[in-house]
Amino acid sequence: MFTQIQAAQNRLSGYANRTPVMSSRTLNQQVGAEIYFKCENFQRVGAYKFRGAFNAMSQLTPTQKSRGVIAYSSGNHAQAVALVGRLLNIDATIVMPANAPKIKRRATAAYGATIVSYDPHEPQGREAIASDLQAEYGYTLIPPFDHPDIIAGQGTAAQELFSEIGHLDALLAPCGGGGLLSGSAICAKAMDPACRVIGIEPKAADDATRSFRTQTLQRVTNPLTIADGVRTPSLGQITFPLVLDYVDDMQTVTEQAIMDAVTFFFYRMKLVVEPSGALGLAALLSRAVSPSGRIGVIISGGNIDAETLAQILDS
């Protein structure tokens, strides 16, 4: 599948930002390792999701493009599909929970997408709503993670990191549905086989970690975590076996550790990072992952409401 990641990189050329890799001497001294952050908070729409959405939507047939696409997302994938739709002249409909962060809802609407809201506590889930609309209007579904083209697109972030930094002893990536993690792991094993790949989740949303440990797909329902980008109910039918095959370990972090990481990014590195994007740093600061050698960390995004950021910084 690494060849698909390479093909995705070619498609993204000229459209996606080649995001910077940043480090902090203060952090390196504090944890006793060399940490390299791949800053996808500087990607278009403020998150890595643009990569997968563009890779998938750019390969649709003319007929599929003319009928439009549908997606479900709490925010970053929604924004990505909406923006790619605008760039490629494809109508986009997004199923979003009513409690999605306001900054993400506003941006999705501003890119021109039609938003269909739903109550995440109601029995009918987002997948069912999207499926009904897809059947009615002939839309093509652009899933948030469980699709080969999405996974390949997300893997390009890790490809750029390895191309710029070279060898890493470990690579840390957030895990929700597993698209970014599995794409990153495939890339790591192709470009730097000795690199350990570790997925990071909130303790409150530990379905992927439990799935990894038990080798059986586990689920979680509406987890109470500040990291809204990883509230996905479970890994997917495609991403679950990829995580089992390519990922070396999974670890979880507390809500306090996540907030501490967001705070560190803001005050020490002058970076605005959403809670989901801060999971890797949270694991290092809390010692959920023991820092050693050269460690790459993917910051998945920076879309956070001002109110939420203020609450974290004041906590």
CA atoms of 293 and 6, how far apart (whole Å): 27
CA atoms of 41 and 48, how far apart (whole Å): 7
Q: Which of 288, 315, 93, 116 is nearest to 202 (CA)?
A: 288
* Catalytic residue (one of 102, 117, 300, 315): 300
- Determine contact, residues 181/248, Cβ cutoff 8 Å: no
CA atoms of 142 and 73, how far apart (whole Å): 10
Q: Which of 124, 288, 279, 129 is nearest to 200 (CA)?
A: 279
Examine the residue annotation and report whether 203 is marked as an active-site residue of this protein. Answer: no
Examine the residue annotation and report whether 65 is marked as an active-site residue of this protein. Answer: no
Nearest 5°: the CA angle 5, 52, 230 is 115
Residue 62: CB atoms within 10 Å: 7
CA atoms of 45 and 143, how far apart (whole Å): 17
β partners of residue 96:
117
* Catalytic residue (one of 49, 58, 73, 211): 49
Active site residues: 49, 300
